[in-house]
Amino acid sequence: MDFPRWVFTSPGPLECNGGTYAQELVKSKEEYDAALEADFKGTLPEALKAKVKEKEKPESGEKAESESQGVVVKRGRKPKNA
């Protein structure tokens, strides 16, 4: 395994493939192992998939995270008449 390398977690401030994520650069095997212990993943798809699994299983009586936050993200340009 080569270093430095990126590790990923979700959610985060960055967007990709319908999800959000954060990334961190690790510079050694020790940092990489510590990041994995802190729920980071070695690839972005793994991080997004782990978040989807977590979101699909709300605890009894609680809404899924996306429902409770009510966050709307709009993309694209503002209308010309705005």
Radius of gyration of the chain measured on its C-alpha atoms = 16
- What pLDDT sits at residue 69? 45
- What pLDDT sits at residue 43? 96
More confident residue, 5 or 60: 5
Is residue 63, in this structure, part of any structural domain at all?
A: no
Q: Give the chain's domain count.
A: 1
Does the structure show a pLDDT above 60 at 78? no
What are the distances in angstroms from CA 75 to CA 27, 68, 72, 78, 79?
Answer: 34, 21, 10, 9, 12
Structural domain of residue 16, as residue ranges? 5-55
- What pLDDT sits at residue 20? 95
Is residue 11, in this structure, part of any structural domain at all?
A: yes
Is residue 68, in this structure, part of any structural domain at all?
A: no
- What pLDDT sits at residue 58? 58
Is residue 46, in this structure, part of any structural domain at all?
A: yes
| 28's tokens | 């050694």
Q: Please, what is the average pLDDT of the chain?
A: 79
Rounded distance between C-alpha atoms, residue 23 and residue 43, angstroms: 10
pTM for this structure? 0.64
Q: What is the mean pLDDT of residues 70-77?
A: 46
Q: Do residues 20 and 31 make contact, with C-beta atoms less than 8 angstroms apart?
A: no
- What pLDDT sits at residue 17? 85
